[in-house]
Amino acid sequence: MLDTILDKSVVGYTTLGYRLRPHPAINEDLTGRVALVTGATSGLGRATASGLARLGATVIVVGRNPEKTNRVVAEIREETGTDRVEPEIADLSSMRQIRALADRVQAPLHILVNNAGVLLSERTETDEGFETTFATNLLGHFLLTSLLIDKLEAPARIINVSSGGMYTQRLAVRDLQMKRGRYDGVIAYARTKRAQVVLTEHWASMLADRGIVVHSMHPGWADTPGVSDSLPRFYKITKPLLRTAEEGADTIVWLAASEEAGRSTGLFWHDRKPRPTHRSAKTRESAAERQALLDELTRLLPA
């Protein structure tokens, strides 16, 4: 009953919501498993990389800045007492860099965490001509996942880090890159997060027979550089209520490690429980819209 009440209110997104729900220690042994985490040099990604390393996994930390990425890798090695943490450099808004990253990653890979994301106040485009939020949050992870699928060794898991903000938006397949009208960074971000959930369900169906589990999740409101930099007013008002990065990343690590999460696929999670993917009929997409999303992402990324 309490969990249901929390799930239907914003309190469930806060650190209070996290603390009111049970989160037993994650004790699974991931020794011998290899995980790749994007956006892993700060916030949720860093907490995820550290959490997986503590469980014994070999962790590939993907970041944009070589100096920062190497520093974070050294910090995680010291924190966790393991040297099985390695850096990889790639900007998830660059399809060129993603292809190079995928070429460098060696099989087998067992856990893929698609976490990198941006929320921008103004519309910008990458040097490849893609709107930056769309490229980083959606197109880049679509490409990376597609390129790494054949390197995943079953039983394997893909976790897509979405956002509760996706509840406010439906698919906008006719304007995925927000070229029409006034650009709104919050809406652009939420639309990519909605699309991530659709991709999760698609991949889950496509890969079920190959022993690859695919889930998406939302971390609640966490105190991360992404929030403080992108939403300064929201951050200032809600800071006392924000989760730590470790609290926000708890469900990511749990989805990557727990036996329970491996018994299902294609679900949307928050605080270790599956949650509805829609709060309103207005955000529901049709089968045709879902297919149109896949068709457009594929069209933008010729082989």
The catalytic site residues sit at 189
Closest Cα to residue 218, out of 71, 94, 117? 117
Q: How many other C-beta atoms are found inside a 10 Å radius of the C-beta of residue 31? A: 11
Distance CA(248)–CA(123), nearest Å, equals 28
Distance CA(24)–CA(141), nearest Å, equals 30
* Cβ atoms of 196 and 140 closer than 8 Å: no
CA 174 vs CA 178, 180, 290, 293: distances in Å: 9, 10, 12, 9
214 φ/ψ angles, rounded to the nearest 5 degrees:
-125, 125
* Cβ atoms of 243 and 15 closer than 8 Å: yes
Quick one: CA torsion of 115, 174, 132, 169, rounded to 10 degrees?
-50
The full 3-state SS of 97-112, as one line of letters, equals HHHHHHHHCCCCEEEE
